[in-house]
Amino acid sequence: MKIAKVINNNVISVIEGNQELVIMGRGIAFQKRPGDDVDEGKIEKVFKLENKDMTSKFKELLDEVPPEYVNVTEEIIQYAKQQLGKKLSDIIYISLIDHIHFAIERQRQGMQIVNPLLWEIKRIYKEEYQIGQKARQMIRDRLGIELPEDEAGFIAMHIVNAELNEEMGDIVTMTKIIQDILTIVKYHFKIQLDEESLNYFRFLTHLKFFAQRLMNKTLLNNEDRDLYELVKQKYRQAYACTEKIKEYIQKTHHYTLTAEEELYLAIHIDRVLRRH
């Protein structure tokens, strides 16, 4: 294995086939040049990013960030993948390393940034929030830095971003949409939803993808009027609530819900009401 590029003393890249790999290891590039053999005994981490633009940005980032920060972030990412059982977008390697780097630097300087969405994140993205809490523990154990709880929320948002492959600003907007719809349902029926129930989990999952479709302007639009009319008649209470959601979407996002999106919302609302 030959060195293709030396990024810094601890980071190199190599070419295998048509794929560029980024390799980390303490002192792996010390007094080395492109074309030299890789000291495979010093390899600690190997990163294989599918997107060439991502690989380029990743190499730039690794030239700036201390390797111990990169190592703990990579541990967090692997833990997240294991816990969620999902593939995460390569963007997580850039966004989360960069975020954790600056979060640690801010903490050392006594600067704390409040996460205004922490309450919503805890309830809407429970799994990702728990991973954020685990990340705080990993950072404390590996680096001796105690990050505030707000950072568990920020880390969770980066994971959600990598799950859905959306821009961070869109994730913030989607979170607001989900929370607002949940609030509409609670106030319409004057109930507290059981956040531990399976039906609530199903409803929340539906809302996440609904919000993503809304942001991307790709709402479901299968014009099955018979099914729509059937749902409208069968789930009258849930449909009335859906009409309020439709008004909210129209007013805040200037977008009209399709009949198909309405019927799925009504079905999920009815289900969550039956065992809330």
Contact assessment for residue 156 and residue 132, using Cβ atoms and an 8 Å cutoff: yes
Looking up tokens 């030959």 gives: 2
CA dihedral of 140, 143, 147, 149, whole degrees rounded to 10: -40
Task: Identify the architecture of domain 67-165 in CATH.
Answer: Orthogonal Bundle (1.10)
Where does the chain hold its CATH 2.30.24.10 domain(s)?
A: 5-49
pLDDT in tens, the chain (276 residues): 899 999 888 889 999 888 888 998 889 999 999 999 999 999 988 888 877 887 888 888 888 899 899 989 989 999 999 999 988 988 898 899 999 999 999 999 888 888 989 999 999 999 999 999 999 999 999 999 999 999 999 999 999 999 988 888 899 999 999 999 999 999 999 999 998 888 898 899 899 999 999 999 998 887 778 888 888 898 999 999 999 999 999 999 999 999 999 999 999 999 998 764
Integer Cα distance of 35 and 4 in angstroms: 6
Task: Identify the architecture of domain 169-274 in CATH.
Answer: Orthogonal Bundle (1.10)
5-49: CATH superfamily: CAT RNA-binding domain (2.30.24.10)
Task: Tell whether pTM > 0.85.
Answer: no
Alpha helices in the chain (DSSP H): 52-62, 67-84, 91-108, 118-124, 126-143, 149-164, 168-189, 198-216, 225-234, 236-253, 259-274
